[in-house]
Amino acid sequence: MANTIEHISKHLHNELDEMFVKESVTGVLELLRPGGIQLDFVNAKTVKVPNIVMSALSDYSRLDGYAAGDINLTWEAFTLTQDRGKQFTLDAMDNEESGGIAVIHAMKEFERTQVIPEVDAYRLSTLAAKATGTGIATPGTISANQVIAKFADAEKYFEDNEVPIDRIVYFISTEVARQIKINTELKALVGITTVEKGDIKLKVNTFNDNIIIVVPPTRFKTAYTFGNGFTPTADAKDINILAVYDAASIPVKKHNRVRTFSPEMVQDKDAWKFNYRLYHDIFVPAKKIVGVWLHTKA
């Protein structure tokens, strides 16, 4: 039985990790995160992200040579806030009658229907809240003949702030996606590319060579309350487009684990028991806030 539990736990962990990246709309941010971003956990809930500031160029002196410069390495601390979990039981006979597949299938359904939508909603609303100044476009409805103009507005904002526009991910609403699909000129600009990291490969759509991800409306609002599940706040706005520079978003999963207990180990029921816990967050370094652009409905 110990081998069975170990096999189930390992299988679940691997499958749920891969499922999250492939089926969540924000999984692409994990694949795109630059490898040079190092995270340093100082305790269970605090992570430090490095910021490097270097001196500007100075005139070279043929008499004295080079002007002295400094490299200042500082650490920006962030605290994880999302410590989420749930306990489930599955009757031993239900699992036996399913040929032993109900155990794994149940947790995969939980990941697909509950975990992924919540994490997406949290990440996107958190990123949206970081948009500031001219990074917040005038709210309104986007019609088909305005889609290209809105993408151009976002690109201009990034170019004005010296953010690489070839490393932008555009999260778009289903309505904006519809406008693209029904317009022949816009549809012709849609392509497809593959993003990969390690063994995980993810096919994504592109619009004029930039990655676009379509987000269901339940996950695409500016603010949520996270209690028993998640619900939009009373003042939440629907998002049309959220454009994010890949290095501006740092998704972190500190702890993601499913503990499995067989019926022989569960004393109060003849059932399998699962303890699911996810400790996570997403951060935007202060110097990279200009890497977020937001357009909402009025």
Q: Which residues pair with 22 in a beta bridge?
A: none
Q: Residue 266 — very low, low, confident or very high, per pLDDT cuts 50/70/90?
A: confident
Kindly list the distances between the CA atom of residue 286 and the CA atoms of 51, 171, 248, in Å, as whole numbers in the listed order. Answer: 9, 21, 9
What pLDDT is stored for residue 1 in this prediction? 47
* C-alpha span between 162 and 158 (Å, rounded): 6
Q: Which domain holds residue 269?
A: 2-296
What pLDDT is stored for residue 95 in this prediction? 65
Q: What is the CATH number of the domain that holds 13?
A: 3.90.1690
Torsion of CA 162, 164, 165, 167, to 10 degrees: -150
- Can you give the pTM of this predicted structure? 0.89
pLDDT tens digits for range 67-98: 998 888 888 899 999 999 999 888 888 766 65
Among 175, 182, 168, 181, smallest CA distance to 216 is for: 175
pLDDT tens digits for range 117-148: 999 999 999 999 999 999 999 999 998 889 99
Please count the structural domains in the chain: 1
Among 253, 246, 200, 198, smallest CA distance to 39 is for: 253
pLDDT tens digits for range 35-70: 555 677 777 788 888 778 788 899 988 998 899 988
Mean pLDDT of the chain: 88
pLDDT tens digits for range 222-250: 999 999 999 999 999 999 999 999 999 99
Could you tell me if 20 and 27 are in contact, meaning their C-beta atoms sit under 8 angstroms apart?
A: yes
Q: At residue 2, does pLDDT exceed 50?
A: no
- If one compares 154 and 4, the residue with the highest pLDDT of the two is 154
What pLDDT is stored for residue 6 in this prediction? 54
* C-alpha span between 2 and 8 (Å, rounded): 10
Q: At residue 110, does pLDDT exceed 80?
A: yes
Q: Residue 211 — very low, low, confident or very high, per pLDDT cuts 50/70/90?
A: very high
Place of tokens 């937001």: 294
Q: Which residues pair with 136 in a beta bridge?
A: 294
Retrieve residue 43's tokens. Answer: 């305790």
Q: What percent of the chain has pLDDT over 90?
A: 52
pLDDT tens digits for range 12-24: 666 777 888 889 9
